[in-house]
Amino acid sequence: MLAATAGELTLLVDGRVLRISEVAGAHRVGDLVALRPLDAGGWAAEIVFRHPSGDYPAPGSDGMAFARGRFDALRRRAELLDRTRAWFRDAGFLEVETPLLVESPGTEVHLDPVPARLTPRPGAAPEPRWLITSPELHMKRLLAAGSPPIFQLARVFRDGERGYRHRPEFTMLEWYRPWAGYEALMEDCEGWIRTLAGSDRLVYQGRAIDLTPPWPRLRFFDALRERADVVEPERLDPDQQLMAFVDRVERTLGVDRPEFLIEWPITMASLARRAPHDPRVAERFELFIAELELGNAFGELTDAAEQRERCVSENAERREQGRPELPLDEAFLGALTDGMPPSAGIAVGIDRVIMLLTDAASIDEVVAF
């Protein structure tokens, strides 16, 4: 019978020397952390695996639990993506895939697309391309071509964005409803996230969040009045509005219940249409749960002339800020000219939704690499 304690036993498995290190405490890749007898005779060995991201378990921690934990996180991610697809299919959406490598990544002032090069034909001169910051423009071309409601899970790229909640490459869930207003998207959010959560109560980072619908809708200017004590927020310039929002409003959003921040100033909504009842605001909302900014939605702008004007002025602002001007997407503008039905669309950072539903503090915990 084989009896061993930590540090006493060394054995050869598949040509590698392994040793028991559970008591010694410092696990490295290939260390044996447990050895147990099997009913059928013989022994089962548990070995520390390296996580694909290159992380190692902390010295002295349980190496197997670490490895299991990382794969559990990936399994939960896969499940949530599966159930998301199922929810949208059941709701009558068609799943689509659109190009990631494009000639025009959109002119959004505060997004920096990642540049790429493409040789279009054998032997041809390489041409500039971009990786998309969102699949929005192509999905709207599908709407203009008469598509049913559509959704997509796409990889998107945003240069220079990195933090606990940002990665330069992440996964976006976008969905669009033709012939619908943006209120329909709020109901989609409520239905889909409650289905994923499986209950109307969620705990994120020690705080309980009540998911009972309908989730409160809060107007942008009302939020500045009520939570930032600004008397006439409509009269501030766009810069001051954004600062008041960042300094005093954002961290109050979605704390006990999810909140939709609706009707953003027209200056902060480049692809959204004006609200019919108030020309100062646009049909734009953002969804916040537990301070996490999860999604951004528009009642889509479908007026080709106004869209072209906004793209040109965005490029002018980019130039002023010393950012490269970006080519206008003529195919997209052409599709608007031919006619796009009134539609509503939303982009959700699905990695953050997974963070929320798996109680992960950092986006790095919910991706493989």
Partner 1 sequence: MYQTSDIKKGLKFKMDGSPWNVVEFQFVKPGKGTAFTRTKMKNLLTGQVVERNFRTGETFEPVDVETRSAQFMYQEGEHFFFMDGESYEQFPVGETAMGENAKWLVDNMECQILFYEGRAITVDVPNFVELEITYCEPAVKGDTANNATKLATLSTGATVLVPLFVEQNTVIRIDTRTGEYQGRVNK
Residues that bind partner 1 in the complex, under the rule CB under 8 A? 108, 110-111, 160-166, 242-243, 245-247, 250, 264, 268, 286, 293, 296
Q: Closest approach of Cβ 163 to partner 1, in Å?
A: 3
Let me know if 119 is exposed, middle or buried by CB neighbors in 10 A (0-12, 13-18, 19+): exposed
DSSP E strand boundaries for 96-197: 101-102, 115-118, 127-131, 150-157, 169-178
> CA–CA separation, 66 vs 49, rounded Å?
9
Let me know if 52 is exposed, middle or buried by CB neighbors in 10 A (0-12, 13-18, 19+): exposed
Per the DSSP assignment, residues forming a β-bridge with 171 are 155
> CA–CA separation, 36 vs 241, rounded Å?
63
Report angle CA 268, 274, 275 to the nearest 5 degrees: 110
Which CB atom, from 90 or from 247, has the smaller least distance to partner 1? Answer: 247
Tokens 């998107």 identify what position?
A: 156
Tokens representing residue 256 in the block: 């006990």
Q: Closest approach of Cβ 249 to partner 1, in Å?
A: 9
Which CB atom, from 103 or from 293, has the smaller least distance to partner 1? Answer: 293
The CA–CA distances, whole Å, from 192 to 91, 149, 173, 275 equal 10, 15, 12, 26
Which CB atom, from 110 or from 155, has the smaller least distance to partner 1? Answer: 110
H-helix segments, 257-349: 304-320, 330-338
Q: Closest approach of Cβ 116 to partner 1, in Å?
A: 22
Asked if 302 contacts 343 with a C-beta cutoff of 8 angstroms, the reply is yes
Q: Closest approach of Cβ 117 to partner 1, in Å?
A: 26
Q: Closest approach of Cβ 160 to partner 1, in Å?
A: 8
Q: Closest approach of Cβ 164 to partner 1, in Å?
A: 6
Which CB atom, from 122 or from 160, has the smaller least distance to partner 1? Answer: 160
Report angle CA 200, 283, 334 to the nearest 5 degrees: 120
Tokens 């490895």 identify what position?
A: 67
Which CB atom, from 16 or from 162, has the smaller least distance to partner 1? Answer: 162
Which CB atom, from 32 or from 287, has the smaller least distance to partner 1? Answer: 287
Asked if 367 contacts 167 with a C-beta cutoff of 8 angstroms, the reply is yes
Which CB atom, from 145 or from 246, has the smaller least distance to partner 1? Answer: 246
Q: Closest approach of Cβ 275 to partner 1, in Å?
A: 17
End-to-end CA distance of the chain: 42
Which CB atom, from 39 or from 237, has the smaller least distance to partner 1? Answer: 237
What sign does the dihedral 254-259-264-268 (CA atoms) show? positive
Q: Closest approach of Cβ 119 to partner 1, in Å?
A: 33
Asked if 229 contacts 222 with a C-beta cutoff of 8 angstroms, the reply is no
Q: Closest approach of Cβ 55 to partner 1, in Å?
A: 20
Which CB atom, from 64 or from 268, has the smaller least distance to partner 1? Answer: 268
